């Protein structure tokens, strides 16, 4: 193994040191005798300590709540679909959906969607606010503000509370404004 032939005998340098001495394999420093070790040997009698698993142990009720405050963002339910990711299905109960890849889904019980310039969403969504720099194709109900950026394209049936379109943004299809203060009607007949 490692370049030795089977027929060769071990050399003197490869033999273990006698009398419990540890052998140093470091290059000797200039002017230092070759037999002097350059660093102390490891003590094999010291046992290695295992990992601390106390962070995963169950805590008694009420213990440590005041000592570990949580950031507001830690409690937010955020789903990020990264570039070159394809997601297909139903998405429910998320606070924020960020689309950088491709999504074919029915989106419900969510607050906000942010479609990046590289992102594509196909399907239906009923949300509070939307910021679209990529492409949305399908049924979209935005109860508050729909923002279409300069690179954004929204196609299909669109209903919104407020609409903002930057120069270059595209909106096409059936477009309706929601009545002030009126909740969006439940989608009927969506058998997806």
Question: Cα Rg for the chain, rounded, in angstroms?
Answer: 32
Angstrom distance (rounded) from CA 50 to CA 112: 44
Q: What is the pLDDT of residues 132-178, one digit of tens each?
A: 999 999 999 999 999 999 999 999 999 999 999 999 999 999 999 98
Residue with tokens 């040191």: 17
Half-sphere exposure of 167 (CA within 13 A, CB side): 0
DSSP 8-state secondary structure symbol assigned to residue 54? G
Number of helices (H), then strands (E), belonging to the chain: the values are 0, 10
Q: What is the pLDDT of residues 43-66, one digit of tens each?
A: 666 666 666 666 666 655 555 545
């Amino acid at each position: 193994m490692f370049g030795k032939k089977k027929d060769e005998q071990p050399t003197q340098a490869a033999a273990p040191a006698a009398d419990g001495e540890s052998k140093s394999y470091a290059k000797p420093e200039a002017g230092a005798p070759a037999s002097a070790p350059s660093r102390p040997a490891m003590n094999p009698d010291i046992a290695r300590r295992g990992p601390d698993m106390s962070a995963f142990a169950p805590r008694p009720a009420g213990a440590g709540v005041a000592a570990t405050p949580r950031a507001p963002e830690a409690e937010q339910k955020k789903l990020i679909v990264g570039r070159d990711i394809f997601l297909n299905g139903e998405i429910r109960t998320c606070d924020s959906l960020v689309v950088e890849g491709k999504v074919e889904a029915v989106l419900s019980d969510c607050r906000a969607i942010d479609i990046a310039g590289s992102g594509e969403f196909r399907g239906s969504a009923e949300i509070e606010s939307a910021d679209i720099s990529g492409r949305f194709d399908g049924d979209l109900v935005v109860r508050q503000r729909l923002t279409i950026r300069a690179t954004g394209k929204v196609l299909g049936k669109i209903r919104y509370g407020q609409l903002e379109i930057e120069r270059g943004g595209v909106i096409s299809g059936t477009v309706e404004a929601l009545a002030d203060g009126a909740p969006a009607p439940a989608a009927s007949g969506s058998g997806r």
